[in-house]
């Protein structure tokens, strides 16, 4: 009934996943500069978008956003004040400490899903896994609901982009809303354009003729849809909007803002990781300027069952540079007011530190961070107890977080989807809005 989640983007998947792109020709080169300048202006006029910073495997949020100094579970990191009174975060994110007025920490996330695959699915869809149905993820829902906006923006590239990892799939919304996966350099795996455009067009014309002949034999919707995918693919491969995936044209000042200016990326593994994540965050901003409504940046590697604090020192410096650069850049360009930013992982990690100086899986009490798109920053919502083992106030489920993000984007929470077998499903699993974000 539904399409299984992608695990990467091969040449074949590239053809299969692009039916959602509009069948219009690439703009003339003389118009491209105008289109780039118009991108940020469109965002200011009200085009909504979302960037999800996904921390694959589940970070130890007790060491990042909800520290417990002095508690046996507290670990070695110290909290520092931020620009928002009463809100403290880890000492290893000093740049973000100056930007918390834009962001809200939800410290009362709580689920029962402490398995990676189940937790990731629940956080992306608002539903626990169900063997009878596959639910759409954030990117599919947002791309679907903001489809008219993307048409207005003359979008030629897919509306759901995932950088660095595959995200979750479109579920019952169908292949049109699958994630288009690229790496931090903006490259699609196994897609080599090592031929001139004239030869490419000759090949595509021949293939198109074969496709048409097959479809004319009344072979059903699949043949017709495949032809649409082919045309969409040609448009994408030749579109000037593909330049949004390349960050090298940015000014030295912008690169430096994200920590990828001159001298960075050469100081060992920490700086190299910084460059990768920061380039992905910068690419996300560029894609939003083209009209893409949803971009996910995958920052995996948080499964810290051992030496958690040693690993976090490097990883948090990487996160601090990329996340702070993105928020600052969006704010300076006037885009933050229409862009929802979400930071989350599969779950949290145990307050108790294990015998290998690590933290294990923990879904009962942990934190996410959201901001932008009219959500009220500068606050910590919910509270855990003194050692971080329990949520004391306002438990928040993944569907509540999703409902709040959708509300910030102007998407109606009364929306009801119909699955392939005609089952009604409420958007965001009928989650309740986190009222403090809109007070």
Task: Tell me the per-residue pLDDT of 62-93, one tens digit each, with 9 for 90 and over.
Answer: 999 999 999 999 999 999 999 999 999 999 99
7-22 burial code (b ≥16 CB/10 A, e <16): eebeeebbebbbbbbe
Higher-pLDDT residue of 248, 105: 105
pLDDT on residue 167: 97
pLDDT on residue 213: 72
Band of pLDDT at residue 330, cut at 50, 70 and 90:
very high
Map tokens 């834009």 to a residue: 102
Note the helical H segments in 169-267. Answer: 197-215, 221-238, 252-257
Tally of CA atoms within 13 A in the half-sphere of 222 that contains its CB: 1
Higher-pLDDT residue of 218, 332: 332
Which residues span the domain enclosing 215?
Answer: 11-438
Token duo for residue 234: 């040609």
Model confidence at 197: pLDDT above 70: no
The pLDDT of 330-347, averaged and rounded, is: 98
Band of pLDDT at residue 198, cut at 50, 70 and 90:
confident
* Report for 15-24, 153-162, 338-347: range of highest mean pLDDT: 338-347
- Proportion of the chain above pLDDT 90, given as a percent: 69
- Proportion of the chain above pLDDT 70, given as a percent: 80
Residue 335 lies in a domain: yes
CATH number of the domain to which 191 belongs: 3.40.720
Residue 3 lies in a domain: no
pLDDT on residue 234: 66
39-43, 237-241, 318-322 — which is least confidently predicted? 39-43
Residue 411 lies in a domain: yes
pLDDT on residue 226: 57
Model confidence at 334: pLDDT above 60: yes
pLDDT on residue 42: 53
pLDDT on residue 5: 40
Mean pLDDT of all residues in the chain? 86
Residue 300 lies in a domain: yes
Check: CB of residue 163 under 8 Å from CB of residue 183. Answer: yes
Residue 407 lies in a domain: yes
pTM of structure? 0.85
pLDDT on residue 223: 55
pLDDT on residue 187: 85
Question: How far apart are the C-alpha atoms of 311 and 91, rounded to whole Å?
Answer: 15
State residue 36 phi and psi, 5-degree precision. -60, -45
Q: How many helices (H) and strands (E) does the chain have?
A: 12, 16
Higher-pLDDT residue of 396, 240: 396
Model confidence at 269: pLDDT above 70: no
Task: For the chain, give the longest Cα–Cα distance.
Answer: 74
How many other C-beta atoms are found inside a 10 Å radius of the C-beta of residue 34? 10
pLDDT on residue 282: 98
Residue 6 lies in a domain: no
The pLDDT of 255-262, averaged and rounded, is: 88
The pLDDT of 417-429, averaged and rounded, is: 95
Band of pLDDT at residue 151, cut at 50, 70 and 90:
confident
Question: How far apart are the C-alpha atoms of 174 and 3, rounded to whole Å?
Answer: 7
Band of pLDDT at residue 41, cut at 50, 70 and 90:
low
* Report for 177-181, 213-217, 357-361: range of highest mean pLDDT: 357-361
Band of pLDDT at residue 267, cut at 50, 70 and 90:
very low
Check: CB of residue 77 under 8 Å from CB of residue 67. Answer: yes
Give how many domains the chain has, as a whole number. 1
165-174, 254-263, 318-327 — which is least confidently predicted? 254-263
Q: Give the dihedral sign, CA 233/234/237/239.
A: negative
Which residues are bridge partners to 105 per DSSP?
369, 380
pLDDT on residue 321: 96
Higher-pLDDT residue of 197, 163: 163
pLDDT on residue 71: 97
Residue 4 lies in a domain: no
Residue 174 lies in a domain: yes
Band of pLDDT at residue 189, cut at 50, 70 and 90:
low
Check: CB of residue 290 under 8 Å from CB of residue 27. Answer: no
pLDDT on residue 28: 39
């Amino acid at each position: 009934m539904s399409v299984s989640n992608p695990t990467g983007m091969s040449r074949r998947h590239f053809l299969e996943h692009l039916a959602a792109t509009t069948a219009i020709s690439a703009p003339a080169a003389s118009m491209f500069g105008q289109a780039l300048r118009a991108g940020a202006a469109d965002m200011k006029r009200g085009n909504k978008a979302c960037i999800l910073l996904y921390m694959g495997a589940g970070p130890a949020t007790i060491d990042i956003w909800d520290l417990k100094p002095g508690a046996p579970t507290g670990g070695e990191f110290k909290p520092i004040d931020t620009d928002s009174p009463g809100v403290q975060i880890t000492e290893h994110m000093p740049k973000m400490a100056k930007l918390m007025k834009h962001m809200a920490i939800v410290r009362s996330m709580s689920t029962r899903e402490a398995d990676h695959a189940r937790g990731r699915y629940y956080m992306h869809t608002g539903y626990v896994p169900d063997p009878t149905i596959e639910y759409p993820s954030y990117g599919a829902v947002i791309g679907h609901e903001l489809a008219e906006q993307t048409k207005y923006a003359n979008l030629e590239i897919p509306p759901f982009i995932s950088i660095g990892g595959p995200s979750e799939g479109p579920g019952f919304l169908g292949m049109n809303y699958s994630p288009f996966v690229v790496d931090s350099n903006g490259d699609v795996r196994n897609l080599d354009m090592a031929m001139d455009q004239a030869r490419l067009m000759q090949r595509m014309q021949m293939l198109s003729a074969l496709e048409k002949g097959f479809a004319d034999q009344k072979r059903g919707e699949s043949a017709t849809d495949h032809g649409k995918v082919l045309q969409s693919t040609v448009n994408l491969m030749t579109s000037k909007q593909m330049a949004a995936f390349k960050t090298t044209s940015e000014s030295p000042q912008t690169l430096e803002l994200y920590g990828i200016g001159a001298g960075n990326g050469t100081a060992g593994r920490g700086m190299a990781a910084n460059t990768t994540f920061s380039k992905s965050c910068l690419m996300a901003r560029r894609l939003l300027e083209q009209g893409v409504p949803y971009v996910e940046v995958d920052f995996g590697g948080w499964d810290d069952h051992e030496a958690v604090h040693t690993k976090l020192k490097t990883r948090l410096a990487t996160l601090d540079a990329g996340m702070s650069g993105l928020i600052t850049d969006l704010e300076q360009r006037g885009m933050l007011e229409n862009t929802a930013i979400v930071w989350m992982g599969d779950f949290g990690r145990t307050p108790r530190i294990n015998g290998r100086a690590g933290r294990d899986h923990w879904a009962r009490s942990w934190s996410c961070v959201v901001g932008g798109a009219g959500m009220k920053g500068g606050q910590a919502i919910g509270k855990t107890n003194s050692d971080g083992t329990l949520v004391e106030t306002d438990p928040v489920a993944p569907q509540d977080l999703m409902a709040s993000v959708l509300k910030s984007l102007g998407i109606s929470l009364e929306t009801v989807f119909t699955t392939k077998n005609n089952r009604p499903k409420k958007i965001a699993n009928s989650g309740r809005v986190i009222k403090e974000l809109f007070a």
